[in-house]
Amino acid sequence: MKEARAYPPIHFIGVWDTVGALGVPGALGQLFNRNKYKYHDVGLHPTILHAYQALAIDERRKPFAPSVWQRPSGWTGTLEQVWFAGVLSNVGGGYHPDGLANEALHWMVEKAEGLGLEFDKSFLDHYQPCFNLVLQDSMSAMCKVMGPRARLIGQQAGDDEAVHQSAIDRVNLPDCHYDPKNLRIYLSRTASAKVVNTTRIARGTPCA
């Protein structure tokens, strides 16, 4: 019997900081069952045409290593993975106030709009970005026992990774006292460091 299966093209996929610990129940499960539950394939399916991921510069929990996508051999789609200031929930949402998450939100919206998806602008106006909000500490007691692990920026071949301008604005604002080592190392590579911006919103003015 012929297998009935179709692989229609996926025009756009946008995600916020996917991690290998997704779906694992609790910190102990993440510690002892990491190989069982981790993502085994971080490549993109060839049917995906445009892929975007927002990543967290300051997440340090070992079980929450980012699943940075790898460009498949011969794949000709669009791939952008952009690093934002904050821990996982600062970037993907979950903390209040949510100004840091809104930086990533508006970047993702801009990418989707450019590919034809329409949004309610009056609704989005309620979600204002703010690059200088206080960063949250995501290190629980169990994660502190396991120790921190800094994320490495720009480890994939090619130019698919970049840092968002909002993180640079945060570095440049003395009151933020923001200078993470992994970001500093990435920016020191003058030949390959890449910074991107979001043009649909005003940039560079600190919020209260």
Query: H helices within 154-195, ranges in order?
Result: 165-172, 181-187
Percent over 70 (pLDDT), the chain: 80
3-class SS letters over 57-115: CCCCEHHHCECCCECCCCCCCEEEEEEECCCHHHHHCCCCCCHHHHHHHHHHHHHHHHC
Instruction: Dig out the tokens for 158 from the structure.
Output: 């090619």
Q: Which residues contact 5 (CB under 8 A, 6 or more apart)?
A: none
* pLDDT at position 37: 46
Mean pLDDT of all residues belonging to the chain: 84
Nearest CA among 25, 28, 104, 14 for reference residue 59:
104
Q: Report pLDDT digits (tens) over 111-163.
A: 999 999 999 999 999 999 999 998 877 655 555 556 667 889 998 777 899 99
Q: Per-residue confidence at 30, pLDDT binned at 50, 70, 90? A: very low
What are the tens digits of pLDDT across the range 33-74?
Answer: 545 544 455 678 889 999 999 999 999 887 788 889 988 888
18: phi > 0 → left, psi -120 to 50 → alpha, else beta; which?
A: beta
* Most confident option among 23-32, 52-61, 66-75, 88-97: 52-61
Task: Establish how many alpha carbons lie within 13 A of residue 132's alpha carbon, considering only the half-sphere containing its beta carbon.
Answer: 15
Question: pTM here?
Answer: 0.84
**CA-CA distances (angstroms) from residue 194 to 13, 109, 137, 153, 163?**
22, 20, 27, 11, 6
Q: Which of 45, 94, 39, 110 is nearest to 68 (CA)?
A: 39
* pLDDT of res. 134: 85
Residue 120: exposed, middle, or buried by beta-carbon count in 10 A (0-12, 13-18, 19+)?
Answer: exposed
Contact between 74 and 67 (Cβ < 8 Å): no
Provide the pLDDT confidence category of residue 20 given band limits of 50, 70 and 90. low
pLDDT at residue number 38: 46
List the structure tokens of 89: 């929930």
Output the furthest CA–CA distance in the chain (Å, rounded).
67
**CA pair distance 35, 40, nearest whole angstrom:** 9
